[in-house]
Amino acid sequence: MSHLPQLTQKILLSCLLVSTLCLADENIIAVNKAEVAIDIDGKATEQVWNNAQWLPIDKHIVGEYPSSDDFSGRYKLLWDEDYLYLMAEINDDVLFDQYANPTEKYWDDDSLEVFIDEDASGGMHRFSFNAFAYHVALDNQSADIGPNKADGSSNFILLNDHVKSQWRRDANSPYSITWELAIKLYDDSFTLKGTHMPVKLTKGKVIGFMLAYCDNDGSSEREHFIGSHDIKPKDGDKNLGYIDAGVFGKIKLQ
């Protein structure tokens, strides 16, 4: 650009900056505030849910891509000072919960997986609380991986206090369930010891976020894993969300 007049260079740089910001903003999902409290009962009866737009859960992560009656889903988000609220509408032909123990192979049971990176830092989080991957099961318990145990083995834990969850079937459409969640956000200082306060949410806050559904209809392992965001494969593998918060998308509280 050095051969162009200085004013033209400045204009071009400004245009480049504006278009970069616009592009970046296009990828950030704007989340509206819930002005009234939301009752987590698996029913979308609160008027305020109408202020949130449906977004698809349709990006392939693992397994064959399912037909729409095998799995399809969409979700919407709201927030207030205390919670990120999530409503998911899931169509799944068989609801399957083979492991009674909520910390045993929870990813091979039907579950809604909510990925949260409170400060949108990105980076590795599998054995830390830099970010969370809450697997919300059909029994409404939420499991994740914590720091390794003293003997070095994996530590599958419940973080039920972080996620309040309730789902209901639709009597007129038995394969459709409405799942309503209120999620408290914890920053990366969270540990399994002591008392930690959730982060108070404020307008303008940017959060790392992704959502996915583990669908199993009776197999030994999950049959499909479909998410809300495109994931760039690493060595052919798109199942990276439970390891790397860098593959999450971003949301911004409006």
Using alpha carbons only, give the angle 99, 93, 133 rounded to the nearest 5 degrees: 50
First to last CA, the chain: 38
What is the β-pairing status of strands 142-146 and 155-158? antiparallel
Q: Residue 22 is encoded by which pair of tokens?
A: 């616009």
Residue 215 found at the interface with Ca ion (CB under 5 A): yes
Contacts to Ca ion from residues 48-77, by CB under 5 A:
70-71
Query: In the bound complex, what is the minimum distance in angstroms from residue 29's beta carbon to Ca ion?
Result: 18
Based on CB atoms, which residue is closest to Ca ion, 188 or 244?
188
Answer for the pair 225, 214: CB distance below 8 angstroms, yes or no: yes
Residues 88-147 that bind Ca ion (CB under 5 A): 92-94, 96, 110, 117, 119, 121, 130
Q: At closest approach, how far in Å is the CB of 133 from Ca ion?
A: 12
Residue nearest to Ca ion (CB): 121
Minimum CB distance to Ca ion, residue 157 (Å): 18
Q: CB burial class (10 A; 0-12, 13-18, 19+) of residue 88?
A: buried
User: What tokens does 49 get?
Assistant: 């849910």
Compute the least distance from the CB of residue 38 to Ca ion, in Å. 6
Point out which residues bind Ca ion (CB under 5 A).
Answer: 39, 41, 43, 70-71, 92-94, 96, 110, 117, 119, 121, 130, 188, 215, 217
